[in-house]
Amino acid sequence: MSEEVFTLPDLGEGLTEATLLQWLVTVGDVVAVDTPVAEVETAKASVEVPSPFEGRITQLHGDEGATVQVGRPLITVDVPSTVGEADSADADRYVEEERAGSGNVLIGYGTGNGPGRRRRTAKKREPAPQPSAPADAAGAPASTAAPPAPRRPVQSPIVRKLARERGVELTTVAGTGPGGLITRRDVEAAGQSAEPSVRPAAPHAEPVDADTDDRTGLPIHTRVPLTGLRKAVADTLSRSRSEIPEATTWVDVDATALLELRRTLDHPEPAPGILAMVARFVVAGLTRFPELNSRVDTERQEITHFDGINLGLAAQTDRGLMVPAVRNAHRLGMRGLDAEIRRLTTSAREGSVQPDELTTGSFTLNNYGVLGVDGSAAIINHPEVAILGMGRIIRRPWVVDDEVVPRNIVQLSLVFDHRVCDGGTAGGFLRFVADAIESPVSALAEL
């Protein structure tokens, strides 16, 4: 037997640390190559880290909630001597494959060619010979220990999160999935049959300790560490406010014709969503006003205009605000945009969005109307130079041909970096999108 230490691998994207959300194994567990051992949260995503070694866990380095630096020990594995050398070589190749094949992202969370996670298939090995029984103090062979119980399959982050929300202990649930895997349906069924008495009690309103705030004198109820995604969001928005001289302009738009158009498109296939329809007009507007699809390079003292558009979409999730981007949005029609928007927003909320999908946007569209609000002065997603916000669509009195009639009105607000353009360009872009929403058939005829 030989001990191998697995260190937290290169996270890529300039990331140097991760928060250890939870251990998926305990000391004494027997793991195979690719077995997830921990769930960590980076500034980009929450991911599972698989072991590159086969053997028995002898040590877990770090407590849940702690911050682990890249290159620091994560687990120690006691590897059978007959396969230890092969495992060590496999581990080296494993890390290199992940770095080369997925753009230096977290091991086990490659971008690959598809939207799902990529996991390397473990090499098939012959069963390792069992070590001889150890001798007792008198020199006689000790009785052979019973083989360890089969290890319960590691459940997905979605299933574990659902179990926490429902107050279900996974060790008490019989999985109906392949190999005993616990599914969402298993957790939901267990949650319905669980007695209320075993559910966690609601948080008490009393302060967690005797600390008080120096300024207000009020008791401190909870301390929430600013780590992971929340820290990344805070850093990005703070940098945006401190570096970008922003300006905001807005307009109320009659979206009645757009809703009518969507109803006509609902056959034979489902119609694209309103957000996808607006996104198509936004993309068209950016091709006419490329100043808003650019970057400010302060070191080189220049503005870089892009040949193409990666449209970011602000999505509110349980972990915080994420902005996944539709790559090459300028090459997609309404239905193509609709499919990508639905895929990306679902992935963001489930925690399975790819890291590179969160860092490649060139312009952001924010549909804050889903939150039930009419308008907002958003903060630009640094290092982008503009963000377009869309409020809820509501029935309001509107003047049409000198008559007051009920119409479906939506407010658009554009926040832009005044370094890249002036009000004329910003207003021209905003007016283009507004006109397209008010007369969508004419706009589509010219796209």
Would you name the residues annotated as active-site residues? 418
Report the C-alpha gap between 284 and 301 in whole angstroms.
28
CB 323 within 8 A of CB 341: no
Total number of residues shown for the chain = 447
Phi, psi of 310 (to 5 degrees): -105, 105
Residues 258 and 400: their CA atoms lie apart, in Å, by 16
Contact 408/260 with Cβ under 8 angstroms?
no
Q: What is the largest CA-CA distance in the chain?
A: 106
Phi and psi torsions of 251, nearest 5°: -155, 145
Dihedral sign (CA 152, 156, 157, 163) = negative
CA distance 69 to 20: 10
Give the contacts of 236 (CB within 8 A, at least 6 positions apart). Answer: 381, 382
